[in-house]
Amino acid sequence: MALFGTIEGGGTKFVCAIGRTPDDLRDVVTFPTTTPDETLRMTISFFSEQDPLDAIGIAMFGPLDLDRSSATYGSVRATPKPGWSRVDVVSPVSEAFGVPVGFDTDVNGAALGEGRWGAGRGLETFLYVTIGTGIGGGGVIAGDSIHGLVHPEIGHLRIPRHPEDSFPGACPFHGDCLEGLAAGPAIAARWGRSATDLGPDSDRAIEFEAFALGQAMANLVLTVSPERIILGGGVMKIPGLLDATRQQMLASLGGYVDASIFADGAVDFLVAPELGDRSGIAGGLVLAERASSGLNR
C-alpha cells in the first residue's frame, strides 16, 4: 500500500503529514512559516524521520510557477511575503527524497481534497474559495484543476461597493478590491476587532462582509458556472456569515440565473468545507497520489 507525504504550505503556517487519506494520517506537524530556509529545513527534517514515502504532494501559497516547461517550475513567483519571492520549493523536497513531487496552489489543493473526500465529491466543476488573512480561490473545471496564465486568484476581484460603505479598502495593490474589503485584515482595520470577535451584535459588519462576498460569488457563477462553491477560511467561521452571503449572492444575481441548484436559498450551492481545516492537507495527498501515477496536473 502506497504511503504519501503531504505539505500544506500556508503563508502563516506549514502543516506536514503522512498517510493515504485524511482519516488515516499517521503523523501531523504544524510549524510557523518563517524564512524559506528554515521552513523547508523543518519540512525535510519531518519527512526524514518517517518510513520511506512513495510520493509527496505540496499545496502551497502562491502565486506559483506551475508551468512545467518553465525553468523556474516549482517556485514561488513574486509575492509580498518577505523572502519567499522566487524561492524553489519543489527541488529541495524532490532532491532530499528522490520521489515524485506533486505541486499546486493551496486553494487548488484544497479543492482537490474536497473533491475526493468532501463537499466536491461527484462534481465536475466546482470552486474552493478561502476567506482568511488573504482571499484566494482555486477549483476544478470539467474534472481538471484550473491552470491558465497564472492561476485563479479570485482574491483581487473588482466588485461594486455597498452603497453605504465608505471604507477605502486595505489592499496595497487595489484598495477596495475583494481582498481589500473582505479579508481578515480589512475587517480588523475597519471595525477595530478581528473577524473571530464578530458575533450576533455585529450586524453591520456582517452585512458589509456578506455584500462584498455575495458580489464576488455572483461573478464566479456568471464566469465559471460552477456546480458548487465551497467557502473556507477563518473569516467564514463568523456566525451567520455563510447564510448572509448566500442571500447577497442571490440578490446580486437578481433572478437572472435560472437554476434549480439555487433552490432553498442556495444552501446546497454555497457550502462550508466538509473536511473543515483538513481540505489542504487532504489535497496534498491527492497531489502526491497523482505524482506517483505520473500525473502532474
Residues binding a copy of itself (CB under 8 A): 63, 77-78, 124-125, 137, 141-142, 144, 146-161, 173-174, 176, 215, 218-227, 252-259, 261
Dihedral sign, CA of 102, 106, 108, 113?
positive
CB of 163 or CB of 192, closer to a copy of itself: 163
CB of 225 or CB of 293, closer to a copy of itself: 225
Q: What is the DSSP letter of 161?
A: P
Smallest distance from a copy of itself to CB 3, Å: 30
Work out the number of other CB atoms within 10 angstroms of the CB of residue 81.
16
Smallest distance from a copy of itself to CB 129, Å: 11
CB of 99 or CB of 230, closer to a copy of itself: 230
Which residues have CB under 8 Å from 118's CB, separation 6+?
A: 230, 273, 274, 275, 279, 282
Residue type (1 letter), 266: A
CB of 48 or CB of 166, closer to a copy of itself: 166
Residue with cell 505524482: 291
CB of 228 or CB of 278, closer to a copy of itself: 228
CB of 82 or CB of 254, closer to a copy of itself: 254
Smallest distance from a copy of itself to CB 63, Å: 7
Please give the order of strands across the beta sheet that includes 27-32: 27-32, 13-19, 4-9, 55-60, 101-105
138: part of which helix (H) or strand (E)? Answer: strand 135-141
Smallest distance from a copy of itself to CB 202, Å: 24
Burial class (CB in 10 A: 0-12, 13-18, 19+), 181: buried
Smallest distance from a copy of itself to CB 140, Å: 11
CB of 63 or CB of 240, closer to a copy of itself: 63
Contact 4, 288 (CB under 8 A): yes
Dihedral sign, CA of 194, 195, 197, 200?
positive
Smallest distance from a copy of itself to CB 150, Å: 5
Smallest distance from a copy of itself to CB 57, Å: 20
